[in-house]
Amino acid sequence: MSAKSATESKVEVITRMFPSDANPAGNVFGGEILKQIDIVAGIVAQRHCGTNAVTASIDRVDFLKPVFVGDLLILNARLNCIKNSSMEIEVKVESENLRSGLRTMTGTAMVTSVALDDGGKPTTVPKLLLQTEEEKKKFAEGLARMEQRSKERRREKAR
């Protein structure tokens, strides 16, 4: 299993928001945006590990600005960190008004995915090549978050 760079698995997905994605006032449902975040993070995870991958957690979701019917939803996702079978994926969400061309940062999320083997059990993922100082920083920050989530899960199980 050879190491891969974050660039090899990064993804940009663009989709248009329709009335079925929104409330009567034209604001896109947060749940629809979460669905799109989950989809794009899954693509990044599977590109990196080459196996099935499932979402283990979505945390630190911030909805910064509304997205409206007719807007493009632009999701950029990249791998920050890996640990054994887990991968932390950062997703940035923008909207684009097609009439004005104005792009707005509308949200961010951190998604943890777990690679699974053909039997549905967690499996080791390829190492992540860290090529830039920014990638090294994101890896260290992601590793700290992964360790914090692990501690929280152990505390919950002990209750």
Q: What is the pLDDT of residues 33-69, one digit of tens each?
A: 999 999 999 999 999 999 999 999 998 899 999 999 9
pLDDT at 59: 86
Region 105-131: mean pLDDT is 97
State how far the Cα of 48 lies from the Cα of 87, in Å rounded to an integer: 9
Q: What percent of the chain has pLDDT over 90?
A: 91
Q: pLDDT class for 153, splitting at 50, 70, 90?
A: confident
Instruction: Give 8's pLDDT tier (boundaries 50, 70, 90).
Output: very high
pLDDT at 1: 75
Average pLDDT, the chain: 96
CA distance 45 to 78: 9
